[in-house]
Amino acid sequence: MFSKEERDQIIKLVKKEVVPAIGCTEPMAVALCVAKASELLTNKPTQIKALLSSNILKNAMGVGIPGTGGMIGLPIAIALGMLVGKSEYQLQVLKDCTPKDVEKGKELINSHIIDIQLKEDITEKLYIEVIAENEKEKSIAIISGSHTNFIYIERNGEVLLNKSNASHEDEAESAPQLTLRKVYDFAMTTPLDEIEFIEQSGSMNMSAAKESLNGNYGHALGKTLCGKSEKQMMGDSTFSHILSYTSAACDARMAGSMIPVMSNSGSGNQGIAASLPVWVYAKENGKSHEQLIRALMLSNLTPIYIKQSLGKLSALCGCVVAGTGSSCGITYLMGGGYNEVSSAVKNMIANLTGMICDGAKPSCTLKLSSGISTAVLSAMLAMEGKCVTSVEGIIDDDVDKSIHNLTQIGAEGMNETDKLILSIMTNK
């Protein structure tokens, strides 16, 4: 089915996109860029300027920053990135943060050395430019395209890295070009020992969920769903467990806990939504180790495929993309084949297209639970032979065309929506 070279390319892609992260990835990416710029200087910066795309600003305004005791937003993320951030940690850049560091970070904020601005006249939705200076030195670091992708580094006028002329089209061409059929076949046919690494996506996110249930993070939706009255309403079932564990992991992450999660395509919430429902369903329904691994690969690779045309950031809530992956994995675990998986995808797109992203924040857990609820319902419908047809809305007979319709709306059609969302958020 796939040559060893083709399998290795896809595995490389998955390992690039499914990585551990602490905290919301947008402020962590900014902290990462600050850490890199600061590391280039002999002494600590006395001025930090961050020029950011609107989507980065939107996703970093209202989310908790790990290790800060509940502080939110970019100023403390930038301050800590400068003080204790290590670029080698990637999206776990602040994992060495201590309470003393947070106090020092507050002092930096009060000293007004941090300047945060919207980067004008760019089309890239994921763009972070950090200029760090002290009395004798200056450095520039730029991340673009993905959360850890440095495209430009300069120290004291010397250019150390310049990938700014490389187009995203060139990068896209170098990546494996996927279809849903390829995603499904890869997950089903690749030798198990080559893809067993994907198990960590479920185990790490389940650990995060369990730790969250022992605390009170954010809106505590996951914990609330475990309550007596909630169980009377929803029952004590695999479905309710999927919702509670998935919501719990999101609760902790959005509240700024130091609990690591396995992300997908630059988003911790997408990683949670793509893996935890599959993990819970498999474990509670006696599925084999092989079935679990193949389902997790299917559920994680599907959103990676969708993001190839949607982009890392858009006005479309990530739960739509990750929930679609989860629905595929659950459909397979229910006994479905490619046709049923395709039906589940169409059912998802017919339902959730248009759900907006209004930034990362504690209430993301509500959207995640909506996406996962729809994922399970879509899988159940698919297994009953029910599928939204091509005469209904944006659904096409071709499932890949249906996915393209979804991503076209998210990447192009909702641009004005994105601008309005940011305007509303910044003028409250």
Domain ranges within the chain, ordered by starting residue: 22-168, 176-426
Please give the chain's pLDDT, 428 residues, in tens.
Answer: 799 999 999 999 999 999 999 888 999 999 999 999 999 999 999 999 999 999 999 988 888 898 898 899 899 999 999 999 999 999 999 999 999 999 999 999 999 999 999 999 898 999 999 999 999 999 999 999 999 999 999 999 999 999 977 644 445 557 899 999 999 999 999 999 999 999 999 999 999 999 999 999 889 999 999 988 888 888 899 999 999 999 999 999 888 888 899 999 989 999 999 999 999 999 999 999 999 999 999 999 999 999 999 988 888 998 999 999 999 999 999 999 999 999 999 999 999 998 999 988 889 999 999 999 999 999 999 999 999 999 999 999 999 999 999 999 999 999 899 889 988 988 88
Alpha-carbon distance of 112 to 74, in angstroms, equals 13
SS3 assignment, position 331:
helix
Beta pairing, strands 114-118 & 47-52: parallel
Q: Count the Cβ atoms, other than its own, within 10 Å of residue 366.
A: 14
Q: Count the Cβ atoms, other than its own, within 10 Å of residue 137.
A: 15
Task: Count CA atoms closer than 13 A to 282's CA, side-chain side.
Answer: 27
Nearest 5°: the CA angle 17, 21, 24 is 105
CB 312 within 8 A of CB 146: yes
Q: Do domains 22-168 and 176-426 have the same CATH topology?
A: no
Helices (H), 285-362: 289-310, 318-333, 338-352
pTM: 0.91
Q: Count the Cβ atoms, other than its own, within 10 Å of residue 99.
A: 10
Fold classification of 22-168 (topology level): 60s Ribosomal Protein L30; Chain: A; (3.30.1330)
Kindly indicate whether the domain formed by 176-426 is annotated with CATH number 1.20.1440.230: no
Alpha-carbon distance of 379 to 321, in angstroms, equals 15
